[in-house]
Amino acid sequence: MQALGLAALGRAWAQPAFPVRPVTIRVGVPAGGPADNAVRSAQPMLQRLLGQPVVVENLPGASGTLAVRSVLAAAPDGHTLLAGPGADFLVAPFVMPAAKYAPQDFRLVGVTGVSDFLLVARSGLGIASLEALLAQLSRTDATPPTLAHWGAASAPHLVGADFAARTGARFTEIPYKGAAPVLSDLVGGQVDLAFVPLTGQVLAMLRSQRIVPLGVSASTRHPMLPAVPALAEAPALRGFEHSVWSAVLAPPATPDAALQVLTDALGAWIVSPDSLARLASNASRPVPARTLDENAGFLRTEQAKHQRIARALKLQPAS
């Protein structure tokens, strides 16, 4: 994997025609979040490999669509890129009237971070395993547990909806304004369950037994939580894979040559020691340095998955 990122550099640096000026990465979330931190961590190495300044600009708002529109308005020559959370980028066209873009037309430069969603319960719920939860959810005489997320069409809302559709579970949904208040109310016992991104903070809460892990939304168990099952191990949840991933994307019609240079540079950073150390400290999974075709396949798969869930939820732009 590391060889892929490093060997590809020879191809990239043999093409001096790109870049010919500074590369701007417009981030659709505020400064300080995981997607923004990933790009800023990559910035020094990208500047060195590309031989041009790399400027990071934050354009938050409207579920990231302000940044998308700004990138689409620029010349599609590889010098203006988009960065942000993948789920926001893919789902916004279903719920935002202003999001008049087709995610599948963008070109993925690379994924900069992946964190599994973790299904957790409050410590006083009396449920300590996925099997116990599924048994409880199958009871028709039981009061539906509360499930927290941070708003309609947010990533955890979609994950919970997919879980409910696969298992037949009923929940009383409680919307919040973000992950922080969800975690606070889980610890305080005000809400029963939530799908939360596995981060260093969440890992610390698990170790102090303030919340209870029930399952990881991935095909395999997380290396930092080997005793916690992957939700996909349950027969009703085969193929249940959801993650919080951030990425850098190029606008439609970006030339292959420019995209290759950008992909090689970002791929080299992805497998660098600095990047791997950053991922480990955040309890994130290692991210592979993919080829152009592999990136395109990943984006197609994620688009199809989010489209399926959005349609099942009958999501549509608010009038």
Three-class SS of residue 172?
A: strand
Can you tell me the distance from the alpha carbon of 56 to that of 36, in angstroms, rounded to the nearest whole number?
Answer: 9
Residue 260 near residue 109, CB atoms below 8 Å: no
pLDDT at 269: 96
Give percent of the chain with pLDDT exceeding 90.
Answer: 65
pLDDT digits (tens, 9 = 90+) for 70-91: 999 999 999 999 999 898 899 8
Q: Where are the domains of the chain?
A: 2-114+244-312, 116-237
- Indicate the average pLDDT of the chain: 89
Residue 22 near residue 246, CB atoms below 8 Å: no
User: For 264-278, what is the mean pLDDT?
Assistant: 94
Q: Both ends of the chain: CA-CA distance in Å?
A: 47
Question: Which of 116, 118, 126, 124 is CA-nearest to residue 186?
Answer: 124
Q: Are strands 107-122 and 243-250 parallel, antiparallel or unpaired?
A: antiparallel
Give percent of the chain with pLDDT exceeding 70.
Answer: 94
Say which CATH superfamily domain 2-114+244-312 falls into. Answer: Bordetella uptake gene, domain 1 (3.40.190.150)
pLDDT at 2: 52
Can you tell me the distance from the alpha carbon of 251 to that of 74, in angstroms, rounded to the nearest whole number?
Answer: 9
User: For 216-241, what is the mean pLDDT?
Assistant: 94
Please determine, for residue 235, whether its predicted confidence score (pLDDT) is greater than 90: yes
Architecture of domain 116-237: 3-Layer(aba) Sandwich (3.40)
pLDDT digits (tens, 9 = 90+) for 158-195: 899 899 999 999 999 998 877 888 999 999 999 999 99
User: For 280-298, what is the mean pLDDT?
Assistant: 90
Identical fold for domains 2-114+244-312 and 116-237, yes or no, is yes
pLDDT at 14: 47
pTM above 0.95, yes or no: no
**What are the DSSP calls for 220-267, one per residue?**
S--TT-TTSPBGGGSGGGTT---EEEEEEEE-TT--HHHHHHHHHHHH
Nearest 5°: phi and psi at 250? -105, 150
